[in-house]
């Protein structure tokens, strides 16, 4: 085994390239969506998502605490892990970004939900396959008080444990 120059102090060289981030965001359908409460505490919840055109799209009921929090302070982060995907080694990406809340009364909301809801349901059910639940889930998404969250990502931190393992074992080494 190889001793890295600084041990495991600096992991920045074990990041993902753009294609690897794209694969991770395509294979995974769950993320942790993080925001700040009015008193400054960070909070996160697991949510399903779709990544399209460099943005992360999510949905929830308008009454969820994250909606007024994001309307107050649009700075959010999203953490996506490869756990549960076909990616063989642990990979993660953390995005920092600005969140916009799309409401049913907004101009263009019907057009937005016409592509987003089906894409989200496809992402959620891609590993489950077709079932009557899929169509029922899609029908129930279209409720009168549902909002769509659009996160324009501004920064990313990535990590690939496979690259770290290869470096630990020596160039070309296998775990």
How many Å apart are CA 48 and CA 76, to the nearest integer? 16
Domain ranges of the chain: 12-164
Task: Report the pLDDT averaged over residues 117-135.
Answer: 88
Contacts 24+ apart (CB under 8 A), 107-112: 109/148, 112/148
Is the sign of the CA dihedral 8, 44, 42, 27 positive or negative?
Answer: positive
| Token pair listed for 134 | 């899929």
Task: Report the pLDDT averaged over residues 90-113.
Answer: 97
pLDDT digits (tens, 9 = 90+) for 146-169: 999 999 999 999 999 888 888 777
Percent of the chain at pLDDT above 90?
Answer: 77
User: Does position 59 have pLDDT exceeding 80, yes or no?
Assistant: yes
How many Å apart are CA 63 and CA 38, to the nearest integer? 16
| Token pair listed for 145 | 């008080």
Q: Which residues contact 49 (CB under 8 A, 6 or more apart)?
A: 29, 30, 31, 33, 56, 57, 58, 78, 80, 120, 123
User: Does position 92 have pLDDT exceeding 90, yes or no?
Assistant: yes
Q: For the domain 12-164, what is the CATH code?
A: 2.30.110.10
């Amino acid at each position: 085994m190889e001793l890295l120059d600084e041990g495991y102090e600096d992991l920045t060289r074990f990041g993902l390239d753009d294609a690897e981030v794209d694969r991770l965001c395509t294979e995974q359908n769950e993320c942790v969506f993080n925001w700040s409460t009015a008193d400054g505490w960070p909070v996160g919840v697991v949510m399903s998502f779709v990544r399209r055109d460099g943005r992360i799209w999510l949905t929830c009921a308008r009454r969820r605490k994250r909606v007024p929090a994001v309307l107050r302070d649009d700075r959010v982060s999203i953490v996506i892990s490869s756990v549960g995907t076909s990616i063989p080694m642990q990979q993660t990406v953390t995005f920092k970004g600005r969140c916009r809340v799309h409401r049913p009364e907004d101009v263009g909301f019907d057009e937005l939900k016409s592509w987003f809801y089906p894409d989200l349901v496809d992402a959620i059910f891609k590993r489950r396959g077709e079932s009557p639940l899929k169509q029922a889930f899609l029908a129930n998404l279209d409720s009168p008080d549902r909002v769509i969250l659009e996160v324009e990502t501004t920064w990313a931190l990535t990590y690939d444990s496979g690259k770290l393992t290869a470096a630990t074992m020596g160039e070309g080494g296998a775990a």
